[in-house]
Amino acid sequence: MRNLYYVAIEGPIGVGKTSLANLLAEKLGARKVLEDFEDNPFLADFYEEPERFAFQTQLFFLLQRYQQQQELRQVDIFHNLLITDYMFIKDRLFASLNLNEKEMNLYDTIANLLEKNVINPDMVIYLQADTDTLVKNINKRQRTFEVNISYEYIDGLNEVYNEYFFRYQDTPLVIINTNNIDFVNNSKDLEEVIQCIREPISGTKFFNPTTEL
């Protein structure tokens, strides 16, 4: 990890981004920055009435994440590694799914201005899972504002993420299939993930563990 300063973890809702960020920060002695999605006052309303509250929800997230990204520029003399549980681009992925054409045009105008001042990670970890696994994880954590998320919405979001990272070439990328691992409750799985990202990476690397018989 000596050549890395900023590692971003991405993936759809319920895949385990924050859990992995917390674990890696603890194991690697890294500074962590987590997105504050619960502070969005429109989020619960969006899941109940998506068309009505989509633009407000996206715009709040965009500005909130931009402000947080500016704070990443602050030098931390106590940590050599920074780990986040999102990329700034994630908001555009959600927007492409949630906004209509007119709303997306306005969103793009604002986002294009902000993206010029955002720093890119040195490496991205994309956590991948099938939709059934994501829905199972979401139901298990029982967050109040996620009660009204539909299977169709998660499936559509999962497809958007997969399409984006299929073409992603901006930084070294590690794609981890999480269907058959549990890095939260299984220390062996976590160590395998850490070993995977410790190895030098150029381009895209796939980590696809299978269930042991």
pLDDT tens readout for residues 36-84: 888 899 998 999 999 999 999 999 999 999 998 888 777 665 668 899 9
Summarize the confidence of residues 200-213 as an average pLDDT: 77
DSSP state of 164: H
Encoded tokens for 3: 């050549």
* Domain 6-207 architecture: 3-Layer(aba) Sandwich (3.40)
The mean predicted confidence, pLDDT, of the chain is 90
Q: Residue 3: its pLDDT value, please?
A: 61
Q: Residue 4: its pLDDT value, please?
A: 64
Distance separating alpha carbons of residues 80 and 78, to the nearest angstrom:
7
pLDDT at 1 over 70: no
Going from N- to C-terminal start, the domains of the chain cover: 6-207
Q: Residue 74: its pLDDT value, please?
A: 72
**Over the range 146-165, which residues count as b (16 or more CB within 10 Å of their CB) and which as e?**
beebeeeebbebbebbeebb
pLDDT digits (tens, 9 = 90+) for 74-122: 766 566 889 999 999 999 999 999 999 999 999 999 999 999 989 889 9
End-to-end CA distance of the chain: 32
Q: What is the pTM of this model?
A: 0.91
Summarize the confidence of residues 142-164 as an average pLDDT: 92
Q: Residue 213: its pLDDT value, please?
A: 38
**Nearest C-alpha neighbor of 8 from the set 86, 68, 62, 90:** 86
